[in-house]
Amino acid sequence: MSATVDNAAGPAEDQVHYLGSMQTIEFPMNRYGENEEIDYIVVGVGAAGGVLLQRLSRAGFKVIGIEAGPFWDTERDWVSDEAGSHQLYWEDMRVTGGKNPLALGANNCGKGVGGGSVHWAAFTPRFHPSDFEVFTRDGVGADWPISYWDLKPYYELLELEMPVAGPAWYPWGDPHGYPFGPHPMGGVGNTLIRGCTNLGIPVSAGGPVAILSGSRGDRPHCIYRGFCIQGCKVGAKASTLITHVPDALANGAEIRDRCMVSRIHHDKKTNRVTGVSYIDSEGCERFQKAKAVIVSGYSIETPRLLLNSACAGYENGLANSSDTVGRYLMAQAGNVILGRFKEPVRMYKAPPAHALTEEFYETDPKRDFARGFAIQTVGPLPIAFAKQMMAARGSWGWGMRRIMMDYNHWSAFGLLGEILPWPENRVTLADEKDQFGLRVAHVNFDLHDNDKKLIEFGKNKVEQVMRAAGAEEVVQEARYAHLVGAARMGKDPATSVVDCFGRTHDIPNLFVCDGSILPTQGSANPGLTIQALAARTADYLISQGATVFNSDRRDMTAPPVRPELSPPGTHGVGVPRLA
Ligand SMILES: Cc1cc2nc3c(=O)[nH]c(=O)nc-3n(C[C@H](O)[C@H](O)[C@H](O)COP(=O)(O)OP(=O)(O)OC[C@H]3O[C@@H](n4cnc5c(N)ncnc54)[C@H](O)[C@@H]3O)c2cc1C
Ligand code: SF4
């Protein structure tokens, strides 16, 4: 295919831009003039941003995605090598603190077109109906302004668009089946299944995971060599870079990569945002006018940008009249439990994400804490394994060499535990500045009583499963996974930043759409929910048309679900679902 992206940092015009081993981009990119007023700017082309660009451009809006990282050419930029993949992560300076500080960098945030969906493991369980009403059911956390049933049609769409492979019947939450068959088991999955089965715990084998179990169009099926977190050069694992961005470009969207948005501009007289300033790949500051702005920069960069955009009328940060921007940041407990087996396990020989149980997900009155956790396969490659063993056993020097020679005998499960939203777990601005002269994020994080009890119970349960699988030695590393929250949605403008469609309560043409709007997080990986919310926000914006740009009226009518806006060839395929 003769395909190029007209991209300063990309290949020459006559070169092909690869998005996988076979997938290429077929369209030279549309370019909008700097003084042209476009409809929407999407800040950050990640998990949510990619879906928004695709939907809005397909509906005919003029839309630009401004992305801090590169527009990956997977053949040119990616390596199937653990040490060579650090460029995929947001590793710019951030300051972390609190009693139980979060590690920031490679374990949470992406940078580049596709964002975190490029390096995610691609576990794609849905949230449970209970996640949307945690406060009502358990008296902790918060209720969402929407229910599971509002999001369900979007879960179903995204499961086809990625697509998700999984069992014909998934018994937890709102039980349902998957339209594409599950994956065969790798060594870690086999140990999880053995451990769970020996204890009588139901377990799901082979998904749900957004990895192709059979080839599809110009994307080949998974070859089971385990480099998912390094980006999947093969193109079997879904990311918005390969699932949504090509259709966005085909429909006239523009992506400005290596461009860091530094400020959202606001006109005090009209109480409307007017566009954004950004620093381009040459280091020049530029302004782009727009009728509306959607911030999709992830749970740390989104509040940081809003706080850095403080202005007359919003001295504490844009859209922050509630003092909620940056608050209620959440991470999931992500302890890794490692077990040594007599027989080889070979953790690397499968996607890390391929089996899980949600049997402990819901609040159980017999336990002394609210909410719950999932247990999932992890499958670290050798460098991650070495770090875990250093933390878990203090391995070093010759001890580390011996452990590394034993790598093939180890298996690893992850606890995925729900930590509740707390107001003081928050992003603020540090005094330190980054390479662009912008104040960096300071992240404060403390665990509370409920969180600590949940983690203690959860990690003991995972250990039991590992032992029941036959492990002769079990160790664990305490860590966190998946940051969400910090610009939460809610009905009450006094306690939330955006409404149920992502529109900021304060400014009618400023939206937030990414993981930061989640009020609670359950113990499901958040990526599918983030993308489903983005598709719903897009449907809303399409229904509202020009009123978003020129009216202060807030129509809270739910939009019709628009399957016709899915990327071509994704809707109406796969086996019929059981529910
Ligand atoms: C190792 C790892 C494994 C994971 N595995 C899973 C999994 O199995 N399942 C799952 O559901 N989730 C997983 N996740 C989490 C998932 O990747 C994130 O939840 C998801 O990508 C967040 O989506 P988002 O749209 O909020 O932000 P992102 O996808 O991170 O996108 C934000 C984008 O905005 C850009 N940006 C930010 N600020 C600016 C700015 N000022 N100007 C311009 N651009 C900007 C960033 O460069 C980035 O590309 C994993 C994460 C990690 C780190
Ligand atoms: S295991 Fe499959 S999904 Fe993961 S990197 Fe390899 S081919 Fe891609």
Give the mutation target among 222, 239, 243, 381 for probing the ligand 2 site: most ligand atoms within 8 A of CB. Answer: 222
pLDDT confidence of residue 2: 32
Nearest ligand to the CA of 414 is 1
Say how far residue 324 (Cα) sits from the centre of its chain.
21
Interatomic CA distance for residues 341 and 409, integer angstroms: 5
Confidence tier at 6 by pLDDT (50, 70, 90)? very low
Q: Read out DSSP for 80-115? A: S-SGGGGGGB--S--EEESSSPPP-STTT-B-STTT
DSSP state letter for 554:
-
Element holding 453 (H helix, E strand): helix 449-468
pLDDT tens digit sequence for 237-255: 999 999 999 999 999 999 9
Measured from CB, residues less than 6 Å from any atom of ligand 2 are 211, 222-228, 232, 234, 236-237, 351
Report which protein residue has its CA nearest ligand 1's atom 35.
44
Does the CB atom of residue 229 touch ligand 1 within 6 A?
yes
**High-pLDDT (> 90) share of the chain, %:** 90
Contact 518, 534 (CB under 8 A): no
Does the CB atom of residue 260 touch ligand 1 within 6 A?
yes
pLDDT confidence of residue 107: 74
Kindly report the average pLDDT of the chain as a whole number.
94
pLDDT confidence of residue 26: 73
Q: Which SS3 state, helix, strand or coil, does residue 134 take?
A: helix
Q: What is the mean pLDDT of residues 204-228?
A: 94
Instruction: With a cut of 80, say whether residue 10 has pLDDT above it.
Output: no
pLDDT confidence of residue 8: 42
pLDDT confidence of residue 19: 94
Residues with Cβ within 8 Å of 522's Cβ and at least 6 positions away in sequence, in order, are: 127, 128, 130, 131, 361, 371, 418
Confidence tier at 11 by pLDDT (50, 70, 90)? very low
Pairing of strands 426-433, 204-205: unpaired
Interatomic CA distance for residues 359 and 201, integer angstroms: 7
Residues with Cβ within 8 Å of 555's Cβ and at least 6 positions away in sequence, in order, are: 544, 547
Q: What is the mean pLDDT of residues 141-158?
A: 98
Q: Which atom of ligand 1 is nearest to the CA of 46?
A: 31
DSSP state letter for 279:
E
CB atoms within 10 A of CB 559: 16
Q: Which atom of ligand 1 is nearest to the CA of 302?
A: 38
Q: Which atom of ligand 2 is nearest to the CA of 235?
A: 8
Confidence tier at 13 by pLDDT (50, 70, 90)? low
Which pair of tokens denotes residue 188? 């870690």
Taking CA atoms, 54 is separated from 120, 247, 259, 278, 328, in Å, by 20, 6, 19, 22, 29
pLDDT tens digit sequence for 523-538: 999 999 999 999 999 9
In terms of Cβ atoms closer than 10 Å to its own Cβ (0-12, 13-18, 19+), residue 343 is exposed
Report which protein residue has its CA nearest ligand 2's atom 4.
228
Q: What is the pTM of this model?
A: 0.97
Does the CB atom of residue 304 touch ligand 1 within 6 A?
no
Contact 247, 568 (CB under 8 A): yes
Place of tokens 């050069």: 233
- How far does residue 20's CA lie from ligand 2's centre (Å)? 11
- Least confident segment among 20-29, 214-223, 421-430, 436-445: 20-29
Give the mutation target among 81, 211, 216, 349 for probing the ligand 2 site: most ligand atoms within 8 A of CB. Answer: 211
Q: Which SS3 state, helix, strand or coil, does residue 374 take?
A: strand
Confidence tier at 83 by pLDDT (50, 70, 90)? confident
Residues with Cβ within 8 Å of 218's Cβ and at least 6 positions away in sequence, in order, are: 20, 22, 23, 24, 235
Q: What is the mean pLDDT of residues 460-481?
A: 97
Read off the amino acid at residue 168: A
**High-pLDDT (> 70) share of the chain, %:** 97
Contact 288, 35 (CB under 8 A): no
Instruction: With a cut of 70, say whether residue 388 has pLDDT above it.
Output: yes
Does the CB atom of residue 207 touch ligand 1 within 6 A?
no
Contact 247, 65 (CB under 8 A): no
Contact 516, 486 (CB under 8 A): yes
Q: What is the mean pLDDT of residues 162-185?
A: 96
CB atoms within 10 A of CB 366: 4
Q: Which atom of ligand 2 is nearest to the CA of 237?
A: 3
CB atoms within 10 A of CB 564: 8
